[in-house]
Every structure is written in C-alpha cells, then in structure tokens.
Structure 1
Amino acid sequence: MSEKACCVTGHRDIPADKVDYVKSKLKEEIEKAIADGFTMFISGFAEGVDLLFAELVLEQKAQHPDLFLEAAIPYNNRLKSTDPLFRKCLEGCNGIKVQQEEYSQDCFMNRNRYMVALSSRVIAVYDGRDKGGTLSTMRYAHTMEREVREIRI
C-alpha cells in the first residue's frame, strides 16, 4: 500500500432520523483521515452509508484535489444503476474497480474484502445487528489488523 487508503462499510437502511447524524460523523471521520495523511478513499457504492461517504469525499476533493476516490463495484451490472446520487458520485471518481463480471451470492463480500485489503483504516457505520455485511466486514477488518473506526447508530 503506497497511498494511505481508507474505506467505508455500513448499512443501506439508515433510519431517516439518523441520516444527518451519520453524515456529520462521516464528515468528521473523513476530515480526520485527511489530517492523518490518507489520500485514497474507497466506497462500495451501495445505497445508504457507501454513497453518503462517496458524496462527502467528493466534497472534500474541492479543498484537497490530491484525494483519490475509488468505486469498488461488486459486479458489472451494478454500474447500470440510475440512482442520481450513484451517477453523480461515479462521475466524480478517480477510479472504478469492478470485482466480477456476473452477480453471485458472495460478490458483495468479495468487494468488501478487496476494500479492506487495500485499506489501513475502515470507517464502519454500525447499528449493532448481529449479522450482515457490515458486521462481517468489521470482523474481517479486525482479522486483517486494520484500524476500525466505528460510528454507532
């Protein structure tokens, strides 16, 4: 890892009354990562936390043009999303890495492991549920001895 990379994991379904809190905490974590010398940010581009993170990194790129935002896309057809925020964030990316051509049951976990493997810091927005991709990614990050910065919701 030549660049210091930071990725995000979190839930797709953020309760409406927690969105502003999550945004402000993500913004704080991104600013802290930049202050700590991180220049590469990786988002899985799922709804919810991933896209909020990508949008906030793009906002930071206005003040820090050296930042690199990568979209880690789990499978090729995901690029066809018509979600306006997905499209806007994708256009602002410096790089796009598609994990695999076709959808498979494990494509999202493969994407998450890829992001963790590249990153020394993982920002996790987590609500305490006892299963799911966010928890699996946090556990994997701990196994890989990555720094995990948790935002509890």
Structure 2
Amino acid sequence: MSEEQTEKIRSVLKEKLVKALDDGFVKFISSFTGNVDRAFAEIVLDLKKDHPEIQMLAVIPYRNKLNRMKEQEDIKALLDSCDDITVLKEDYQPSIYIERNRYLAEHSDRAIIVYDGREKGATVNMIRQIHRRHKEMQEIPVGLEIRL
C-alpha cells in the first residue's frame, strides 16, 4: 500500500472515529494486528487527549503474540496506553483468529472495516461475523483508489 493511500485511509478512519464519538461511542477495540488496526488505535488514543472519557481496549489472540508485540517500542507504547488488554488464549491455536473476530463482533456495536474486496482472509471473516450478529458496519473500501 502506498504512503498516499495509507494517509487517505487514516484520514477517512479519523472521520469515522470522530463521527462515532459524536454518536456517543466511547469504547473502542483494536486487535493491533496490522497497520490499519494500529492506525485505528493511534487515532483513538490521540482523540483521547481531548476526550478523556474514551476507552481504548486491545484484544490480542494469544499470549506469545502479545509478548512479541511488546518487543516493538511503538506498539508497546500504544498497548501501554490502552485501558484494558484482553488476551484470548494462552497458546496459539489454528482457529484463534476466527475466535478473535468472533470476540470483536460480539463486543462491538459498530465496526469500522477497511476492506479491499478479497473474498478470503481475516477481514472478510470479520465482515461475516458482524453480519451474523446484525451489528452496524461502516466500510472504508480500498483498492487502487479509495472509493468514498
């Protein structure tokens, strides 16, 4: 993903997070899995400076993943700023990311999804989890160009 596209995603993500805050949402959850999840957390934690009622929650699939994440200074700083960290399992299991998505869907009222249209993978699984639970979903579609 290009730097320009990443900045566009961050901009739209911030708009959606500000809107969520305006709509009364104050608890935000991230799995910190990839760049978008980290950008989400960074934006939420930045908004928290002016809105101390915001809570940032991290959901990490298994303990060793958390330990490896804490070895990276930038991610460790984000995790240390979270109000709570939930570790779903002590050890890795093949189905752990499906379980993580299920947990995220169950504990969310609104999901903000950055989606590139792929029909396989964690993001499409997350979308299915959200739909199964009839939760609100806001999509940020990406591809060659962001379609707003």
TM-score scaled by length of structure 1: 0.88
Runs (4+) of structure 1 exceeding 4 A deviation are none
**Which stretch of the first structure deviates more once superposed, 26-35 or 15-24?**
15-24
The one-letter amino acid paired with 2:121 is G
Give the structure 2 partner of residue 97 of structure 1.
Answer: 86
Count matched residues: 140
Structure with max Cα Rg: 2
Tell me the alpha carbon deviations over residues 17-38 of structure 1, each in whole angstroms, 9 at most, x when there is no partner: 3110110011011100000000
Out of 117, 121, 134, which is 1:128 matched to? 117
Name which of 129, 134, 146 aligns with 1:145: 134
List gaps (5 residues or longer) in structure 1.
1-13
Q: Corresponding residue for 2:30?
A: 43
In the alignment, what sits opposite 1:87?
Answer: 76
Query: How far 1:78 moved relative to its partner?
Result: 1.2
Could you say which residue in structure 2 is the equivalent of 1:108? 97
Take 2:3 and 2:125, find their aligned partners in 1: how far apart are those partners?
24
Task: Point out the more displaced range, 114-123 or 74-83.
Answer: 74-83
Aligned mates of 2:123, 2:96 — CA distance in 1: 14
For structure 2, the 5+ residue unaligned runs are 143-148
Q: Closer, same or farther in 2 for the Cα pair 1:100/1:15, shift >3 Å?
A: farther
User: Structure 2 length normalisation: TM-score?
Assistant: 0.91
Instruction: Name the amino acid aligned to 1:138.
Output: I
